[in-house]
A and B are shown apart, each in its own frame.
Chain A
Amino acid sequence: MKRGALSILAAGILVLLPQTLLGQESAPSDDQVNEIASDLYCPVCPNTPLDVCETLACSEWREQIREQIAAGMSESEIADYFVEQYGERVLAKPRTSGFTLVLWLLPVVGIGFGVLALAGVLRKWRREPDAEAVVAPQDQEGSVSAEARQRIEEELRNLS
């Protein structure tokens, strides 16, 4: 009788143990869910990342992400699903393709033109002191001391 009960108990453990382990494996943690949710925005609450959004709708979306992870979907597949369902606005980072590529390129192009403009201004500033240096001796001609001018005139007279 005792042996029979033990056998049933052992069989029960053998049946339930893999299921329990399997269940633990297929239940993604909150951290896993939030890691993906942090790259998505709540489709209905403006400017609220999905991982910190406290509405009922957001908790349902997080639950959906949990189910999708458990079903073996990758992060990009989940993001694609959200875009298909709710549009590109749910993405925290706009995609680097199509029209949204402009959003990524525009700052780079802007910075490039800024650098070019700055280089132009700096070159102009560098050129201005040189111009002064060329002009200066001519301007200073009139400021020759009277003594020096007298000596020059004497020298010129001696030459003739």
Chain B
Amino acid sequence: MLMTSERAGNGNRPRLRYIVAGISVALMVGLLILLGWGLQNTNAPQPEAGMAPTFSLTSFDGETLALEELRGKVVVINFWASWCIPCRAEADELEAMSRKYRDDVVFIGVDYADTEKGALKFIEEYGLTYFQGPDLGTRISADYRIRGVPETFYVAKNGELRGVKIGPLSPGELEFKILELLDDR
């Protein structure tokens, strides 16, 4: 009886070894896939062309806006934060352009990694009237792969991305780009 059970135990040992080896290999493969996915995500380039990543943003006042619903209009998406010094340099121009092209261009201010108190103070300080909302969970900035603030993305009437400006806007640069996109049929 003892011999039978010993024999059965010895017979099971190679099978157990195969199971352990199989699980180890599966774990290693899984880890490699995760590593590859992480590396791909980290090194993926910033989108500058193709369809603009869609998102919906809830403003500090509680209104919600979806990018998809803005087809037919030029959209300017500006990522900013109250702690960002260069964002202050372009705030007045963004507001002036949003007022000038109110009927044809939608301006969206995406507040990146900020405190609500700081953001609201910034909006009040510069008298910003265009749509402003916090990037909750920094999901929108992750989709647009921003490297910092400020960054400004231009979206054509058909929803395609038509360029990005990394850093503060130069005087006249924003209007030049808006006119170019408005001419685009």
Contact = CB atoms under 8 A, between A and B. Distances in A.
Interface in A56-115: 56-57, 60-61, 63-64, 83-87, 106, 109-110, 113
Given A60-B118, A120-B17, A84 B138 contact: no
Interface in A32-47: 43-44
Contacts of B182: none
Nearest to B112: A44
A85 B115 CA distance: 9
Interface string B94-133: 0000000000000000000111011000000000000000
B23 A43 contact: no
A60 B138 contact: no
By secondary structure, the B interface counts as helix
Nearest to A42: B113
A64 B136 CA distance: 16
A84 B137 contact: yes
Nearest to B117: A64
A87 B137 contact: yes
Main secondary structure of the interface of A (DSSP, over half): helix
A116 interface: yes
Interface of B: 17, 20, 23-24, 27, 31, 81-83, 113-115, 117-118, 134, 136-139, 142
A55 interface: yes
Given A113-B20, A120-B17, A86 B81 contact: no
Contacts of B137: 83-87
Given A86-B138, A87-B138, A120-B17, A113 B27 contact: yes
Given A57-B81, A84-B137, A87-B138, A113 B113 contact: no
Taking residues whose C-beta sits less than 8 angstroms from the other chain, chain A's interface range is 20 to 34
Given A87-B138, A87-B139, A61 B20 contact: no
B24 A113 contact: yes
A85 B27 contact: no
A85 B134 contact: yes
B140 to A, nearest CB: 11
